């Protein structure tokens, strides 16, 4: 605890040695010829005057210790008794001389004084004038020192509070300071969030369970008129006060006090510029009026604490928004990324967890009929937890948000009525927050949970801002996905038209693409790899359509056809990976293929998949005259097996075999 007396120790000898006191002495000593100046220090010991160049006692008392003691005791007694009247401090000295005693008080305490003795009685009028001027100066000096030390004290407090940027550390230090000043052991700080609502923020020697109680239902505006700039630094909350009623009930709930106990409740508000930041409350036997010095110190702590808390809260909210802006920047870059809607939604879910440091995140999107919410992301959710399974509009927290479009912070431990329909969903976390994904119309709902602390209105604003960008990114990804789907369908129709003369009847190219896609799904390729594989499967033989019209050897046809296919890929502006797949489509697993004789895993995975799918499709078409489809597949797989580990990747062949064994799965 910071104490004014201990932090700013007053040494009157140092004060008396100041240049202004010296100027007073040199200016007045000539008016009182033969006078003897001395000081009484903070320990009430008579000491030489710094500029008089003489001992503390005159020649008469210098050799008489008993007289010295009597003179010192008289000086101390007179200064204590006659503090209000400096002229009452002119009294007789040795052998008919006069002496004057001028006190110096700091914050009401006598900490020293100046004595002038051995003055001729005829000089009394001059002595009174000197006493009046020196006394006035010492009072002015004391007032200046008090103001200066108040500033130093505030500076000391601010250096130990405002400089503490972490809110939790600040709350702990501020509570310790105030409790030490008042002489109590317990304290609870209620802060006010962006919605103006009180919430428990920090407790000292009260149960931590108090921090989980949220049913205050009080706002800043209920108390704003009570705490003004000129208000006292502390209050006794009466029994009908809502904060007192909540606090008393909460302590009974935590079994800290018995129902029959009737302690007094003391409140110290933190107000800055007539704007309430929070309040410290505690229980005491009775609220007594402290001394003026202690009341002033409490006021300084409350004012400094309000400034510190306000700054820390502003900084915390700025840091939250800075994180949100940086994450929004990432989402903004994702908007132009060439990824599927599924990948986009998954990335947004991960970014949401990083942004708010939550363990659980659910993203539910509206179905085509706009009647249900379908879960697309369910990170960290437990079985039957809200956000994991389909919900109808109005069901559960997400369903209610989808209908009303209002963001919600929900604490399952509260006894408040749930406005939504119960669909059997569970809420195992202590705090949930849900916002709508909205752009012209409702697109879905994002719900997060399992944060280290309860969600705040600041977190809500961050998630709302993030959701605005997220829904744009999802819609943009869907638009690009639709464009890619149209492109793929066009390529399929063109290939079918050339191969079967009917755009709706699949030829070898489309069948190869379909089988390659099935293999890719079994191998769990990413959405980007899957898309590039699809393009490569449709375009790898595009150049051969031109070469089949020429009469040149097959190997030369393949070489020139591959070059034409690559030109086609480049003309469409597809990714480099598509070019690499098309270029290496005729490589062999054993390294004897073309064009670069790549071996094993050095061959692009997409090229290995398409090679197996293309061979299977061609062979199956060759044996289509067999009596049954099963017989045709068996002969086809016999050839594929012979070429396994020679032309084909054994892992791809094994995947194809698993697909064929799945009787419920349609192949090509």
Mean pLDDT, the chain, whole residue set: 83
Model confidence pLDDT, tens digit, residues 493-547:
888 887 877 777 788 899 999 999 999 999 999 888 998 999 999 988 776 655 5
Domain boundary among 133, 157, 181: 157
**What is the per-residue pLDDT for 4?**
38
Residues 6+ apart with CB under 8 A from 436: 401, 402, 405, 406, 407, 442, 444, 445, 467
514 and 629 fall within a common domain:
yes
- Phi and psi torsions of 570, nearest 5°: -65, -40
Nearest Cα neighbor of 270 from 387, 174, 349, 338 is 174
Q: Average pLDDT for residues 188-211, to the nearest whole number?
A: 88
Q: Average pLDDT for residues 620-643, to the nearest whole number?
A: 88
CB 134 within 8 A of CB 103: no
510 and 657 fall within a common domain:
yes
pLDDT > 80? residue 642? yes
206 and 352 fall within a common domain:
no
> Is 533 within the bounds of a domain?
yes
Lowest mean pLDDT among 342-356, 409-423, 459-473: 409-423
Task: Report how far apart the first and last C-alpha atoms of the chain are (Å, whole number).
Answer: 80
pLDDT > 90? residue 188? yes
639 and 584 fall within a common domain:
yes
Cα 505 from Cα 496, distance rounded (Å): 6
pLDDT > 90? residue 404? yes
> Is 275 within the bounds of a domain?
yes
Q: Return the CATH number at 584.
A: 1.10.3210.10
252 and 177 fall within a common domain:
yes
390 and 245 fall within a common domain:
no
Residue, of 627 and 622, whose pLDDT is higher = 622
Q: Average pLDDT for residues 639-663, to the nearest whole number?
A: 90
Domain boundary among 120, 142, 157: 157
Nearest Cα neighbor of 660 from 628, 615, 630 is 630
Q: Average pLDDT for residues 227-233, to the nearest whole number?
A: 65
Q: What is the domain range of residue 379? A: 348-468
Cα 30 from Cα 480, distance rounded (Å): 99
Model confidence pLDDT, tens digit, residues 477-506:
888 888 888 888 888 888 888 787 777 778
Highest mean pLDDT among 65-69, 101-105, 386-390, 627-631: 386-390
> Is 66 within the bounds of a domain?
yes
Q: What does the radius of gyration of the chain's CA atoms come to, in whole angstroms?
A: 44
Model confidence pLDDT, tens digit, residues 434-453:
999 998 889 999 999 998 88
Q: How many domains does the chain have?
A: 4
pLDDT bin (cut points 50, 70, 90) of residue 614 is very high
CA distances from residue 5 to 1, 116, 150, 397, 506 in whole angstroms, order as listed: 12, 28, 11, 58, 95
**Burial degree of 247 (CB within 10 A; 0-12, 13-18, 19+):** buried
**What is the per-residue pLDDT for 477?**
85
**What is the per-residue pLDDT for 385?**
94
pLDDT > 70? residue 7? no
DSSP letter (8 states) at residue 291 = P
444 and 369 fall within a common domain:
yes
Cα 434 from Cα 385, distance rounded (Å): 14
9 and 148 fall within a common domain:
yes
What b/e readout covers 315-337, taking b as 16+ CB neighbours within 10 angstroms?
ebbeebeebbeebbeebeebbeb
pLDDT bin (cut points 50, 70, 90) of residue 663 is low
CA distances from residue 256 to 242, 247, 445 in whole angstroms, order as listed: 19, 11, 41
511 and 610 fall within a common domain:
yes
**What is the per-residue pLDDT for 349?**
93
Highest mean pLDDT among 228-232, 364-368, 663-667: 364-368
pLDDT > 90? residue 391? yes
**What is the per-residue pLDDT for 591?**
92
Q: Return the CATH number at 41.
A: 3.30.450
279 and 366 fall within a common domain:
no
In sequence order, what DSSP letters do the residues of 356-420 get, joined into one string?
Answer: HT-SEEEEEEE-TTSSEEEEEEEETPPTTBTTSS-EETTBHHHHHHHHH---EEE-TTS-SPP-S
**Burial degree of 440 (CB within 10 A; 0-12, 13-18, 19+):** exposed
CA distances from residue 261 to 44, 186, 265, 320, 430 in whole angstroms, order as listed: 48, 17, 12, 43, 31
Q: Return the CATH number at 413.
A: 3.30.450.40
pLDDT > 90? residue 604? yes
Cα 519 from Cα 16, distance rounded (Å): 96
> Is 631 within the bounds of a domain?
yes
Cα 219 from Cα 217, distance rounded (Å): 7
> Is 326 within the bounds of a domain?
no
pLDDT bin (cut points 50, 70, 90) of residue 193 is confident
> Is 491 within the bounds of a domain?
no
**Burial degree of 470 (CB within 10 A; 0-12, 13-18, 19+):** buried
pTM for the complete prediction? 0.61
DSSP letter (8 states) at residue 85 = -
540 and 428 fall within a common domain:
no
128 and 221 fall within a common domain:
no
Q: Which residue has the tokens 């702990």?
A: 172
Domain boundary among 116, 139, 157: 157
Q: For residue 413, what are its two tokens?
A: 């431990």
**What is the per-residue pLDDT for 173?**
85
pLDDT > 90? residue 381? yes
Cα 474 from Cα 467, distance rounded (Å): 10
Cα 56 from Cα 13, distance rounded (Å): 13
> Is 490 within the bounds of a domain?
no
> Is 21 within the bounds of a domain?
yes
CA distances from residue 341 to 189, 473, 581, 597, 633 in whole angstroms, order as listed: 46, 9, 24, 37, 36
Model confidence pLDDT, tens digit, residues 326-380:
767 777 777 766 678 888 899 899 989 988 889 999 999 999 888 999 999 999 9
Highest mean pLDDT among 114-123, 177-186, 621-630: 114-123
pLDDT > 90? residue 163? no
**What is the per-residue pLDDT for 548?**
53
pLDDT > 90 fraction of the chain, expressed in percent and rounded:
26
pLDDT bin (cut points 50, 70, 90) of residue 565 is confident
Cα 237 from Cα 284, distance rounded (Å): 11
pLDDT > 70 fraction of the chain, expressed in percent and rounded:
87
Cα 85 from Cα 88, distance rounded (Å): 5
Cα 68 from Cα 175, distance rounded (Å): 50
pLDDT bin (cut points 50, 70, 90) of residue 259 is low
Cα 307 from Cα 281, distance rounded (Å): 18
Lowest mean pLDDT among 254-258, 281-285, 459-463: 254-258
CA dihedral 553, 559, 563, 565 (to 10 degrees): 80
């Amino acid at each position: 605890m910071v104490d004014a007396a201990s932090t700013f120790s007053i040494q009157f000898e140092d004060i008396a040695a100041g240049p202004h006191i010296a100027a007073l002495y040199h200016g007045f000593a000539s008016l009182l010829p033969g006078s003897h100046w001395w000081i009484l220090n903070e320990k009430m010991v008579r000491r030489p005057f710094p500029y008089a160049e003489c001992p503390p006692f005159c020649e008469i008392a210098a050799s008489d210790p008993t007289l010295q003691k009597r003179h010192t005791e008289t000086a101390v007694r007179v200064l204590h008794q006659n503090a209000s009247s400096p002229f009452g401090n002119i009294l007789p000295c040795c052998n008919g001389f006069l002496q004057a005693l001028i006190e110096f008080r700091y914050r009401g305490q006598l900490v020293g004084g100046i004595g002038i003795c051995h003055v001729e009685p005829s000089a009394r009028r001059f002595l009174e004038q000197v006493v009046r001027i020196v006394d006035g100066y010492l009072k002015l000096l004391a007032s200046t020192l008090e103001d200066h030390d108040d500033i130093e004290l505030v500076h000391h407090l601010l250096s130990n509070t405002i400089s503490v940027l972490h809110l939790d550390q600040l709350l702990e230090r501020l509570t310790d300071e105030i409790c030490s000043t008042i002489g109590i052991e317990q304290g609870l700080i209620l802060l006010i969030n962006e919605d103006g609502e009180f919430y428990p923020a920090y407790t000292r020697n009260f149960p931590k369970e108090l921090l989980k109680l949220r049913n205050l239902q009080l706002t800043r505006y209920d108390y704003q008129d009570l705490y003004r700039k000129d208000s006292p630094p502390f209050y006794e909350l009466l029994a009908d006060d809502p904060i007192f009623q909540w606090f008393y009930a909460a302590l009974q709930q935590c079994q800290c006090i018995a129902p029959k106990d009737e302690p007094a409740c003391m409140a110290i508000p933190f107000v800055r510029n007539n704007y309430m930041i929070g309040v410290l409350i505690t229980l005491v036997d009775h609220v007594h009026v402290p001394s003026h010095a202690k009341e002033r110190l409490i006021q300084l702590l409350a004012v400094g604490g309000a400034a510190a808390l306000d700054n820390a809260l502003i900084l915390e909210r700025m840091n939250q928004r800075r994180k949100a802006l940086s994450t929004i920047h990432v989402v903004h870059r994702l908007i132009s990324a060439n990824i599927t809607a599924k990948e986009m939604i998954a990335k947004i879910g991960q970014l949401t967890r990083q942004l708010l440091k939550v363990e659980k995140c659910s993203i539910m999107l509206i179905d085509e009929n706009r009647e249900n919410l379908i879960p697309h992301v369910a990170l960290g959710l437990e079985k039957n937890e809200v956000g994991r399974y389909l919900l109808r509009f109005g069901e559960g927290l997400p369903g209610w948000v989808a209908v009303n479009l209002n963001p919600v912070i929900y604490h399952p431990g509260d006894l408040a009525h749930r406005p939504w329909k119960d669909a059997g969903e569970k809420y195992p976390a202590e705090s949930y927050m849900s916002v709508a994904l909205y752009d012209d119309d409702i697109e879905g709902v994002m719900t997060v949970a399992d944060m280290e602390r309860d969600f705040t209105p600041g977190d809500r604003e961050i998630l709302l801002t993030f959701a605005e960008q997220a829904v744009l990114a999802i819609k943009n990804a869907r638009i690009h996905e639709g464009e890619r789907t149209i492109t793929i369908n066009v390529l399929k129709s063109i290939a079918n038209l050339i191969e079967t003369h009917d755009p709706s009847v699949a030829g070898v190219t489309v069948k190869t693409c379909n089988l390659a896609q099935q293999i890719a799904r079994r191998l769990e390729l990413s959405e980007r790899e899957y898309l590039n594989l699809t393009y490569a499967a449709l375009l790898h033989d595009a150049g051969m359509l031109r070469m089949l019209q020429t009469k040149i050897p097959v190997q030369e046809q393949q070489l020139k056809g591959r070059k034409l296919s690559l030109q086609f890929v480049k003309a469409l502006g597809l990714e480099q990976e598509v070019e690499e797949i098309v270029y290496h489509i005729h490589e062999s697993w054993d390294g004897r293929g073309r064009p670069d004789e790549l071996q094993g895993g050095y061959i692009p995975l997409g090229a290995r998949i398409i090679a197996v799918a293309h061979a299977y499709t061609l062979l199956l078409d060759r044996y289509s005259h067999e009596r049954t489809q099963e017989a045709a597949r068996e002969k086809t797989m016999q050839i594929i097996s012979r070429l396994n580990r020679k032309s084909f990747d054994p892992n791809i062949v094994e995947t194809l075999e698993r697909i064929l064994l799945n009787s419920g799965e349609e192949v090509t």
